[in-house]
């Protein structure tokens, strides 16, 4: 007789979801840069149809369609009725941070510096997330994790420092321009870290599908109103209906926005803050590789040095996570060995 092992996506460990999400989302920045280059070669009325605003708006629409298909069963009156006012405020805040502030800052960063620099600067997100987890979620971390976070952050600082030193300092304009892209990348990282903390706290009581659909819908609407307010009602014009935009966004929205974020939030819900930070720290490895494959952007010596230091910080954090897990197992075994007394005292 053949016994079938029951299978469910709930049986998949959270770290699997996290690393799948990292490899998918890490390719987002190189893909956006490549798509904007394709759009510039196919202008409509002098405008790039695959601009940042078009990518984010149309990409979110396709992503929302995918999420609605995946989580259609969670969209019911009972699930929505259970949301409190604080839940709604949390979703709105997370939507603003991850749907408007972070993408806007990232796009500005990509306009002023190399994709690889944006990737490396973005690695301050895991240390910030870990610090907020200790402060707000009372997450316990050991010395290994602290050392790993410090080393990873040092790798980012060293990368920027070496990059600025090895620039052509003979030009008087260097000091007025260097650092702008890195500042925007840091703002994006901070926004994403705070958004992740908010999401992790809310996912303990809100179904993933409901949270993601509400968050993506609000992110799209907030971004749309912001663009129309700043750039006028004619900003999108005819470029928004370009076939080349929609055919690329069908792929981008489904894979990056839909499945990438689905895996990330599943991992976010099922994993500890330290594991989330470790998975996020792997982003540079996947993203630098993606930047080379997609854009043929070869990392500079400064970026390689900084990336190596960041990798060493990841290893320290991993050992910290492993050590803490082993200690927890040892404590549980010792507790189980303790004698129990059921005899009545006279």
Per-residue model confidence as pLDDT tens digits over 277-307: 778 777 777 777 888 888 888 877 877 887 7
pTM of the model: 0.72
Q: What is the pLDDT of residue 243?
A: 84
What CA–CA distance (Å, rounded) separates 54 from 61?
11
Return d(Cα 180, Cα 299) in angstroms, integer.
19
Virtual torsion, Cα 190, 193, 196, 197, nearest 10 deg: -110
Q: What is the pLDDT of residue 7?
A: 44
With beta carbons less than 8 A apart as the criterion, state whether 50 and 312 touch.
Answer: no
Our measurement of the distance from residue 192's CA atom to the centroid of its chain's CA atoms, rounded to an integer in Å, reads: 6
Cα–Cα dist 58/248, whole Å: 10
Q: Tell me, what's the pLDDT at 228? A: 80
C-alpha to C-alpha distance for 20 and 262, rounded to whole angstroms: 10
Distance in angstroms (rounded) separating the CA atoms of residues 336 and 332: 6
What distance in Å separates the CA atoms of residue 234 and residue 237, rounded to the nearest whole number?
5
d(CA 74, CA 72): 5
β-bridge mates for residue 47, sequence order? 44
Low-confidence ranges of the chain (pLDDT < 70): 1-10, 116, 160, 163-178, 233, 235-238, 321, 324-346
* Cα distances (Å, whole numbers) of residue 97 to 14, 60, 104, 328, 345: 24, 15, 10, 35, 61
pLDDT in tens, 301-344: 877 887 788 788 878 877 776 776 666 555 555 555 555 545 44
Average pLDDT, the chain: 78
User: What pLDDT shows up at residue 172?
Assistant: 43
Coil vs helix vs strand at 225: helix
Residue with tokens 């750039």: 231
| Torsional sign, CA 175, 181, 187, 193 | negative
Residue-wise over 51-75: b if at least 16 C-beta within 10 A, else e?
bbbbbbbbbbbbbbebbbebbeebe
Max Cα-Cα span within the chain: 95
Place of tokens 């935009």: 245
pLDDT value of position 173:
43
DSSP class of 141: -
218-221 own/partner pairs: CB under 8 Å, 24+ apart: 218/91, 218/92, 218/95, 218/96, 218/99, 219/60, 219/95, 219/96, 219/98, 219/99, 219/100, 220/57, 220/60, 220/61, 220/64, 220/99
User: What is the rounded distance in angstroms from the CA atom of residue 304 to the CA atom of residue 159?
Assistant: 8
Task: Find residue 44's DSSP bridge partners.
Answer: 47
DSSP 344: P
Sorted by sequence, the CB contacts under 8 Å of residue 113 that are 6+ apart come out as 180, 181, 182, 185
**What pLDDT score was predicted for residue 247?**
86
């Amino acid at each position: 007789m053949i016994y079938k092992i029951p299978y469910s996506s709930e049986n998949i460990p959270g770290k699997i979801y996290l690393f799948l999400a990292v490899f998918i989302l890490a390719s987002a920045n190189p893909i956006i840069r490549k798509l904007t280059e394709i759009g510039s070669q196919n202008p409509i009325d002098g405008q790039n149809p695959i601009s940042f605003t078009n990518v984010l708006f149309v990409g979110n629409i396709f992503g929302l369609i995918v999420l609605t298909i995946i989580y259609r069963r969670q969209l019911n009156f009972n699930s929505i009725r259970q949301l409190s006012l604080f839940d709604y405020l949390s979703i709105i805040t997370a939507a603003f941070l991850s749907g408007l502030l972070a993408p806007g800052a990232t796009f500005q960063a990509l306009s002023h510096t190399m994709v690889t620099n944006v990737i490396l600067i973005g690695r301050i997100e895991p240390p910030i997330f870990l610090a907020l987890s200790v402060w707000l979620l009372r997450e316990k971390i050991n010395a290994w994790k602290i050392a790993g976070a410090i080393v990873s952050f040092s790798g980012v600082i060293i990368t920027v420092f070496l990059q600025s030193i090895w620039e052509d300092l003979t030009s008087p304009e260097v000091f007025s321009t260097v650092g702008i892209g890195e500042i925007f990348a840091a703002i994006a990282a901070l926004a994403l870290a705070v958004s992740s903390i908010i999401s992790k706290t809310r996912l303990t009581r809100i179904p993933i599908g409901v949270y993601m659909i509400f968050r993506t819908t609000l992110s799209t609407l907030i971004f749309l109103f912001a663009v129309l307010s700043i750039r006028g009602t004619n900003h999108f014009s005819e470029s928004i209906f370009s076939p080349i935009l929609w055919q690329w966004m069908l792929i981008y929205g489904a894979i990056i926005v839909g499945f990438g974020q689905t895996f990330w939030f599943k991992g976010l819900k099922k994993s500890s803050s330290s594991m989330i930070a470790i998975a996020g720290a792997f982003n540079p490895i996947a993203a630098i590789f993606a930047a080379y494959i997609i854009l043929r952007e070869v990392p500079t010596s400064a970026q390689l040095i900084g990336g190596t230091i960041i990798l060493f910080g990841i290893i320290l954090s991993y050992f910290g996570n492993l050590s803490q897990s082993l200690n927890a197992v040892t404590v549980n075994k010792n507790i189980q060995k303790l004698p129990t007394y059921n005899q009545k005292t006279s």
